[in-house]
Chain A
Amino acid sequence: MTNEERTVGWKRYDAEMKFYENIRDDVMDGAEKAGISPKQLLKLELGLEEILVNIISYAYDYPGYVWVKTSVENDCFRLEFADHGRPFDPLEKDRRPAKDLRLEDREPGGFGIFLVKKNFTSVSYKYEELFGKMANHLILLLAMK
């Protein structure tokens, strides 16, 4: 695949909290039109919220972009994120809150990616060149039904 082909189908947004609902609604509307079941739509939102809020909150120290791409692949809805922020592989370690801590003392931030992994068919991460720079590229697959 050429560099140009790899950038087809993405939508670019400012990575700012004020655009969160726009991005969410774009993705959710697209998924509904693609025929995802209502139950899976809620799971999709869970993944979208956890990943997107993470990128918006932590990826950049300066104003940056987040790219989002959706497609249907066989029986799965495919949701991709890219950003040019600091390299971050959410799958690098088991980010479940440590078992030996009392639940009320755990840092709940680790719940997010844990819930995504639990609810999605697959989550994969690459650090690769996209849109002219090295990028975090996260790919989530979720069954349509």
Chain B
Amino acid sequence: MAKEFTQIESQGPNGWTVWTVTGRIDTITADTAYAMGESILQKNTKMVLDMSDMDYISSAGLRVLLRLNKLAKKSGKEFNLSGASGIVKSVLEDSGMDTLFTTWGSLDELK
């Protein structure tokens, strides 16, 4: 059974704001996810997406990450990814996204 889509904002180490998405970023959840990422980026300078509880991402999800990355770059902010595994990790790698983003194995590694 697929995990339910939820997202939470919290404070992480070293001034990072953590955006935790559980479940998936797909065609259905993409707009809601983008709105949350955008709102966190507007209020904070360093945002990391914690993907450790995500079990699925599609190209609709990749578009969300790309749009937020553009937004972060434009406003001189940082947007990193953390904790991807399984098909989420392989989709990031297959699309070359892992080279565009700074990626962390887990939030504990964040500098």
Interface residues of A (CB under 8 A from B): 20-21, 39, 42-43, 45-46, 49-50, 53, 103-104, 108-109, 111-112, 114-115, 118-119
Q: Which residues of B line the A interface, CB within 8 A?
A: 26-28, 55-56, 58-60, 62-63, 66, 69-70, 73, 86-87, 91, 94-97, 99-100
Q: Find chain B residues with CB under 8 A from A50 CB.
A: 58-59
By the criterion CB–CB under 8 Å, are B26 and A111 in contact? no
What residues of A have a CB within 8 angstroms of the CB of B60 in the complex? 49, 53
Q: Which residue of A lies closest to B55 (CB)?
A: A42
Q: Which of A46, A49, A53, A103 contacts B87 (CB 8 A)?
A: A46
In the complex, what residue of chain B is closest to A110 when comparing beta carbons? Answer: B59
A21 to chain B, nearest CB (A): 7
What is the CA–CA distance of A49 and B27 in the complex, to the nearest angstrom?
Answer: 8
22 of the cross-chain contacts (CB-CB < 8 Å) are: A21-B28, A39-B87, A42-B56, A42-B86, A43-B87, A46-B58, A49-B26, A49-B60, A103-B96, A103-B99, A104-B69, A104-B73, A108-B59, A108-B63, A108-B66, A109-B59, A111-B95, A112-B59, A115-B58, A115-B59, A115-B91, A115-B95
Which residues of A have CB within 8 Å of B87?
A: 39, 42-43, 46
Nearest CB on B from A32, distance (A): 10
Interchain CA distance A53-B58 in the complex, whole Å: 11
Complex CA gap A40/B70 in Å reads: 32
Least Cβ distance of A76 to chain B in Å?
18
Rounded to whole angstroms, the CA-CA distance of A54 and B58 in the bound complex is 13
Within the complex, what minimum Cβ distance (angstroms) separates A115 from chain B? 6
Decide: B100 and A104 in contact? CB cutoff 8 A.
yes
